[in-house]
Structure 1
Amino acid sequence: MSAILSADDLNDFISPGVACIKPVETLPKQQPEESQASSNPYEVTTEEKVNAGTAAPPAQISLTDCLACSGCVTSAEAVLVSLQSHGEVLDTLDKHCEMRGLPWQQGGGTQTNGGLGGVDGEEVEGKIFVASVSPQSRASLAATYNVTEQEAGHMISQLLSGPYGVRAGGKHGSGFTWVIDTNVMREVALVAAAEEAQQALGLPQTEQKRRPVLTSACPGWICYAEKTHPHILPHLSMLKSEQALSGTLVKSVLAKRFGVPPEKIWHLAVMPCFDKKLEASRGELTSEAWHGGERSEPVRDVDCVITARELLMLAESRDVSFPCLPRTPLSKVHAPPFPDATIDRFLSGRRRGQKRKREEADAAVGTSGGYLYHVLKSQQAQHIGSSLTVQRGRNADVNEYSITSAEGQTVFRAARYYGFRNIQNLVRRLKPARPSRMPGAARKPGGARKPTAAAGGSEGDYAYVEVMACPGGCTNGGGQVKVGDVATLRQVGGTGIENGSLEQEVMPAQKEWLARVDEAYWSAESEDLEAADEDRDVEMKDSGQLVGNDDGGGHEEAIVDGINHAHIKGLTEHWASITGVEVEKLLCTTYRAVESEVGKSKDEGSQVEKVSALAVAAGGGW
């Protein structure tokens, strides 16, 4: 007998099904209209036929769009997800003007003792708007409009910050002061992930931390683990994702430099999947983790998340033709420098890593940030002369990687698991063995099952596993532009195909379309790669090579996969010094096992009232 759920039971969830739920279109199918003459006045008309001719309702995000599966999302999280949309972006821009008195604004106030004065002594008003954009979203739009990934990034910046974008409309003409590429924060995450994997090898396994280390950048996977497999939590990487790191950087640095509270800074993230909205709603990713205990109400590090498709809706709502936007960088007038010179050089530099062979990139790096690949290359740097071997599992989304030393000994084993079917096999093998209930039976030693090797018959001790909910990786996220919408978007945008008309173009199948998006994603890796730090003139070297220099801060320079570890460590230490927050609080987060509150009294810690207040809040958000 199924329980009856009410609006009061907001922390409810059902165990997810075995199969992964793909995003479902919410637009109704158009039914052919029957002629008035052929209709029978005595025929019984069904409700479906009556509603078939009515206007289609606005498209909304349903829980089936969430790759974590609708059964894994509580009603409270559904409310938080619904509050994040392109409509909320427009409402916020219309409700708040851009903060006045900033140093680069003409006629602005003066900055004294780290604080920010207003105009003519008035109190500071408005908000500082900042956006961060993922490379997967840029790749989706690049493939949609037949432009390069770099040009798609410029078009997004023009929409959010340029004079022909959202600034051209609205009540206050507000726009985003900075548009940040999350690729730069990805480098911070990769260096920290390599350190975490190395530390896991040297530390004994405990109840709080176990091997293998499982990546935590995919919020759909985290949602699934917290609610269905709490035994996995000690395995999860403690690092924040690029989205969370970008939000923490933006709010912590700007709040300190300008002397404004974090709620005066509004951060928008453009991401490839709807699960990122769930991540932005996490209570662990708020100012409470880094701002101290003087605030009673925490402020989210990421205020709103929209996808590539919602970004196009944002442009359409402002009557902006996205494909007609300039494909050139913003002028300095609309792209002021970040208030900290060191961080500004880091954010504005094209730090995409080294040029890689296409075959190597597709096989090992992936389109989800390259966590596993960078960890493997870092391990190779620690074992000079070692070799990397790859074994494919039962499908293309399962692979095992082994690093063999020059002496022929296996020194590091890792794996990749994409898609929920494969993830379920992984967590099942990591589940602790149950003690026998038979009288006199001895308990099995070891406590946990070892995950079986992806391609071999023997068991393997993985030290690191890259886990993503989407089959194929993040370029296949639920918020990406669907292949069925491409022709319509190009036609509406007024863009044609270089060789032929729109009518002559035959759109590819989803698999071929995903390959085009991947191609656009990887095109960014070969653009302006020689431009490293201008002030350091770092020479790019092959992956896994150690450079015997010192950066002056006690760090030996290690350039792995085109990323200078010493420079990244120096940046994080600088970030911590200017904000007065420990590096661990800036980079790391926590997880918790989630239990349903259905049937419990409201006095037992229910968050019903808080979520209900969020649902009716003017303008949405926290």
Structure 2
Amino acid sequence: MAFSGAIVLADLNDYIAPSQACIKPVEVKVTKKDVDQPTSIKIDDTGGYYEVTQDGGETKLEKASITLNDCLACSGCITSAESVLVAMQSNEELYNVLKSNQEVLANHRTIVVSLSPQSRASLAAKYNITPLQVARRLTHFFKQLGVHHVFDTSLSRDLSLIESAREFVERYRRHQSVKPPASATPEQTDDGTVVKARRMVGRRAGRNEAVAVADGAGAAVGADLPMLASSCPGWICYAEKTHGYVLPHVSTAKSPQQVMGSIVKDYLAGRWEVRPNQIYHVSIMPCYDKKLEASRPDFYDEECATRDVDCVITTGEVDKMLEEQGANLRIMPEAELDPVFTKMILDATTSQPVLLGTPGTGSGGSLEFILSYAARELFNLPSLRTDLPPDAPTSFPGLTIRTVRNVDLREYTLELPATPDSPAVPVLQFAAAYGFRNIQNLVRKIKQGKCAYHYVEVMACPGGCVNGGGQLKPPEGSDVVSAKEWVAHVERVYRSVEGVSPEENSVVRGLYG
């Protein structure tokens, strides 16, 4: 039975609370005899469950078995389902691999660390240093431990954004029954480089299989729009387990983490002339759910018996490593950054490196870049700036941004300018929906066929990725007095890195030819 549209779900908790535990239910097989003779359930002092009949008889019940495949990425999963992954993907596991590298030369592996910009911003906010200083000092820290390479995920983010934008334009044209221009596409003219780039960026078949199971073989027909973001593993897991009908709407592009995994295990393994399983890839992320994402079977290479990302550690776990090693990020020496896998330029005046990022919010600029790309490709509107705070005036008069109901739901509407023959017409409607309160409203509208958006950037955490469950809390003695103020501060630090369009990344241009 469907819920009435008048019903409002209250007391939903979007934040991870370590004291919560995933409920592990008991399996009760009901027979006709049980219906005729009602029973009750009791719990003893050890936590065991017993079925008690009316005559006093007791039967101990077995707990149902729940695996990570059953996890809904709810607010309590960090202490239950994900605890299995914490043992495999943690700073302790990284220490073990570093130690093994030093002791057993025969099994020596190349260790690569990739750092997310959200984690970089969180550490910069705590230690009151710049994101560039964080990147260079963490590079020194990890290389002192025995790590061979430290990259940031700017390249993989740019690749993911470009493919997401291209996918959206394809969906929009298909939805509007408008044929693309007759000019040759990269797939038609490329000598193999673009195909390889897209193989690294495109999502594997795991979710497509889930779509087929949930909705039938023809589920994607007529379901091109709205296109929904695919980089938040908490949101993807929630959609797969509870709302299968939205899966055809989800972008097929991999997240930046998994794109980076493909770059390391595919592209770099070839350049270094080693097998993918001879590389140990560690990803530093703001979210515990990234551990779940890295463990998905669709990101496992059966032939080489390796994952694209072997270990995910959160920002908080990196901070713990610094503490354990007696390292102070405020005064630590700095090391040079890798020039290829770091988005930066040299200042023309000082010849010093300047760190670059992606325009848009701390969730990675997905909505902003796709909107700008679509405006140009579909309507020939150049120089559309969307890298401004919500509700700020934009540089294009046809774009309006407004906050709806709460700060975690924003709408972006693009109108074509009025002409003597026609008034201004809305042509693109985008939205950013953060937190499960807003996500539930979104999926309900999609199910009812009442969603007017063309694209939605969906994130499970209120405040987006800078407020991920693995991020740092305000330090003691900080001037920031509330969680919201701290998230806003980390967002400002994130935006302090100059944003440059993914299409201006020379490495990306080289990959696409």
Q: How many residues align?
A: 385
**Corresponding residue of 2:415:** 404
Measured after TM superposition, the shift of residue 506 of structure 1 is 4.7
* 2:148 is equivalent to residue 185 of structure 1: no
Relative distance call for 1:275 and 1:564 in structure 2 (3 A) is: same
Measured after TM superposition, the shift of residue 21 of structure 1 is 4.3
Residues 20 and 69, structure 1, Cα contact 8 Å, conserved in 2: no
Measured after TM superposition, the shift of residue 391 of structure 1 is 2.7
Match of 2:170 among 178, 187, 199: 199
Measured after TM superposition, the shift of residue 570 of structure 1 is 4.1
Distance 2:164 2:356 in 1: 16
**Corresponding residue of 2:130:** 148
Match of 1:23 among 16, 28, 37: 16
Q: 1:598-618 CA distances to partner (integer Å, 9 max, x unpaired)?
A: xxxxxxxxxxxxxxxxxxxxx
Relative distance call for 1:74 and 1:141 in structure 2 (3 A) is: closer
Relative distance call for 1:509 and 1:348 in structure 2 (3 A) is: closer
* 2:315 is equivalent to residue 308 of structure 1: yes
Give the aligned residue type for 1:214. L
Measured after TM superposition, the shift of residue 243 of structure 1 is 0.7
Distance 1:67 1:520 in 2: 31
Distance 1:478 1:348 in 2: 26
Relative distance call for 1:353 and 1:99 in structure 2 (3 A) is: farther
**Corresponding residue of 1:512:** 485
Q: Identify which range, 212-221 or 88-97, moves more after superposition.
A: 88-97
Task: Give secondary structure in 2 for the equivalent of 1:315.
Answer: helix
Measured after TM superposition, the shift of residue 183 of structure 1 is 1.8
Measured after TM superposition, the shift of residue 515 of structure 1 is 1.9
Distance 1:279 1:18 in 2: 27
Give the aligned residue type for 1:225. A
Give the aligned residue type for 2:414. I
Relative distance call for 1:200 and 1:18 in structure 2 (3 A) is: farther
* 2:324 is equivalent to residue 317 of structure 1: yes
Distance 2:244 2:10 in 1: 17
**Corresponding residue of 1:465:** 456
Give the aligned residue type for 1:418. Y
Task: Give secondary structure in 2 for the equivalent of 1:397.
Answer: strand
Residues 309 and 480, structure 1, Cα contact 8 Å, conserved in 2: yes
Distance 1:406 1:94 in 2: 63
* 2:510 is equivalent to residue 571 of structure 1: yes
Q: 1:130-180 CA distances to partner (integer Å, 9 max, x unpaired)?
A: 00001111111111111111111112111111x4xx2xxxxxxxx211111
Distance 1:222 1:236 in 2: 8
* 2:92 is equivalent to residue 87 of structure 1: yes
Aligned-pair identity in percent equals 40
**Corresponding residue of 2:450:** 450
Measured after TM superposition, the shift of residue 406 of structure 1 is 2.4
Measured after TM superposition, the shift of residue 464 of structure 1 is 0.9
Distance 2:108 2:10 in 1: 45
**Corresponding residue of 1:7:** none
Give the aligned residue type for 2:155. V
Give the aligned residue type for 1:277. K
Residues 87 and 314, structure 1, Cα contact 8 Å, conserved in 2: no
**Corresponding residue of 1:10:** none
Give the aligned residue type for 1:404. E
Measured after TM superposition, the shift of residue 324 of structure 1 is 3.2
Q: Identify which range, 276-285 or 73-82, moves more after superposition.
A: 73-82
Match of 2:280 among 266, 274, 284: 266
Give the aligned residue type for 2:498. E
Residues 215 and 467, structure 1, Cα contact 8 Å, conserved in 2: yes
Residues 191 and 565, structure 1, Cα contact 8 Å, conserved in 2: no
Residues 22 and 67, structure 1, Cα contact 8 Å, conserved in 2: no
Match of 1:427 among 430, 433, 443: 443
Distance 1:18 1:202 in 2: 40
Distance 2:405 2:455 in 1: 19
Relative distance call for 1:197 and 1:150 in structure 2 (3 A) is: same
Match of 2:376 among 359, 373, 381: 381
Residues 343 and 357, structure 2, Cα contact 8 Å, conserved in 1: no
Distance 2:142 2:130 in 1: 19
Distance 2:224 2:103 in 1: 47
Match of 2:468 among 477, 481, 491: 477
1:218-617 maps to which residues of 2 (within 5 A)? 218-288=232-302, 295=303, 298-326=305-333, 328-330=334-336, 345=340, 347=342, 349-350=344-345, 365-382=360-377, 383-384=379-380, 387-407=398-418, 408-431=424-447, 449-451=449-451, 460=452, 462-483=453-474, 486-487=475-476, 506-525=479-498, 562-564=501-503, 570-573=509-512
Give the aligned residue type for 2:12. A
Q: 1:311-340 CA distances to partner (integer Å, 9 max, x unpaired)?
A: 0212233333343312x333xxxx6x6xxx
Residues 160 and 255, structure 2, Cα contact 8 Å, conserved in 1: yes
Relative distance call for 1:308 and 1:127 in structure 2 (3 A) is: same
Distance 1:317 1:509 in 2: 28
Residues 475 and 518, structure 1, Cα contact 8 Å, conserved in 2: yes
Measured after TM superposition, the shift of residue 520 of structure 1 is 1.2
Relative distance call for 1:369 and 1:507 in structure 2 (3 A) is: closer
Q: 1:27-69 CA distances to partner (integer Å, 9 max, x unpaired)?
A: 9xxxxxxxxxxxxxxxxxxx9xxxxxxxxxxxxxxx9xx9931
Q: 1:548-584 CA distances to partner (integer Å, 9 max, x unpaired)?
A: xxxxxxxxxxxxx63326956643346xxxxxxxxxx
Distance 1:177 1:481 in 2: 26
Relative distance call for 1:177 and 1:17 in structure 2 (3 A) is: farther
**Which runs of 5 or more structure 1 residues have no equivalent in the other structure?**
1-15, 28-46, 48-62, 101-123, 167-174, 289-294, 338-343, 356-360, 434-448, 452-459, 488-501, 527-560, 575-622
* 2:113 is equivalent to residue 131 of structure 1: yes
Residues 268 and 302, structure 1, Cα contact 8 Å, conserved in 2: yes
Q: 1:351-398 CA distances to partner (integer Å, 9 max, x unpaired)?
A: 96689xxxxx7xxx2210000000111122232457211232111111
Q: 1:217-275 CA distances to partner (integer Å, 9 max, x unpaired)?
A: 00100110111111111011011111111111011123222332211100001111111
Relative distance call for 1:139 and 1:395 in structure 2 (3 A) is: same
Distance 1:325 1:284 in 2: 39
Give the aligned residue type for 2:431. A
Distance 1:427 1:403 in 2: 23
Relative distance call for 1:480 and 1:75 in structure 2 (3 A) is: closer
Distance 1:22 1:380 in 2: 35
Measured after TM superposition, the shift of residue 127 of structure 1 is 0.2
Residues 114 and 153, structure 2, Cα contact 8 Å, conserved in 1: yes
Distance 2:115 2:122 in 1: 12
Task: Give secondary structure in 2 for the equivalent of 1:396.
Answer: strand
Residues 23 and 67, structure 1, Cα contact 8 Å, conserved in 2: no
Residues 418 and 473, structure 1, Cα contact 8 Å, conserved in 2: yes
Q: 1:511-532 CA distances to partner (integer Å, 9 max, x unpaired)?
A: 2212221121111127xxxxxx
Structure with more of its chain in strand, by fraction: 2
Give the aligned residue type for 1:481. L
Relative distance call for 1:397 and 1:75 in structure 2 (3 A) is: closer
Task: Give secondary structure in 2 for the equivalent of 1:96.
Answer: helix
Give the aligned residue type for 2:462. P
Measured after TM superposition, the shift of residue 78 of structure 1 is 4.3
Superposed CA RMSD in Å reads 3.2
Relative distance call for 1:17 and 1:68 in structure 2 (3 A) is: farther
Relative distance call for 1:98 and 1:562 in structure 2 (3 A) is: farther
**Which runs of 5 or more structure 2 residues have no equivalent in the other structure?**
1-8, 21-44, 46-67, 177-217, 346-353, 382-395, 419-423
